[in-house]
């Protein structure tokens, strides 16, 4: 004869097991996301610091360039370059000068005219 079979099995509560698996996966993913975001924060901080240093360096270079521009375009430097023959100056002719004058045509009654009011004597 066959050996008597076991009639009582160890039952596993599937709902409880599934719940704990889901909770474990959720906590694990939350931890991984937290670590990932912290690493991103540190990398972005390093990048920000590098960009700030580059900005300071660029501003310093800009100030040096402004100083050189001021030196090279100063009156004394221009005079020196003119004496060296590096620059050539040509006088402006009368035909190249544009003069703006007030119109000479008579103004009508409705036209706006400049007025100088004299103060009344006391």
Strand, coil or helix: 45 = helix
In a domain, 53, yes or no: yes
Domain of 70 in residue numbering reads as 17-91
Is the residue at 3 inside a domain?
no
As for how many domains the chain has, the answer is 1
**Burial class for 78, CB neighbours closer than 10 Å (0-12, 13-18, 19+):** middle
Residue with tokens 């704990």: 20
Supply the pLDDT for residue 122: 53
What pLDDT is stored for residue 2 in this prediction?
60
Residue-level pLDDT at 100 = 81
- pLDDT for 56: 97
pLDDT at position 28, please? 97
What value, to the nearest 5°, has the Cα angle with vertex 50 and ends 48 and 56?
A: 100
In a domain, 27, yes or no: yes
Tens of pLDDT, residue by residue, the chain (122 residues)? 565 566 667 777 888 999 999 999 999 999 999 999 999 999 999 999 999 999 999 999 999 999 999 998 898 988 888 899 888 888 889 888 888 876 666 666 677 766 767 776 55
- Is residue 28 one of the residues assigned to a domain? yes
What's the pLDDT at 120? 64
Give the per-residue pLDDT at 102. 63
């Amino acid at each position: 004869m066959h050996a008597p079979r076991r009639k009582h099995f160890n039952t596993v509560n599937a709902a409880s097991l599934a719940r704990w698996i889901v909770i474990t996966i959720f906590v694990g993913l939350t931890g991984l996301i937290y670590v990932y975001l912290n690493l991103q924060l540190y990398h972005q901080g390093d990048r920000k610091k590098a960009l700030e240093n580059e900005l300071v360096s660029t501003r310093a270079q800009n100030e040096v360039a402004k100083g050189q521009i001021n030196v090279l375009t100063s009156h004394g430097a221009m005079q020196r370059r003119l004496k060296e023959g590096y620059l050539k100056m040509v006088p402006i002719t009368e035909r190249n000068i544009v003069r703006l004058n007030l119109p000479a045509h008579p103004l009508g009654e409705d036209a706006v005219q400049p007025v100088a009011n004299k103060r009344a004597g006391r």
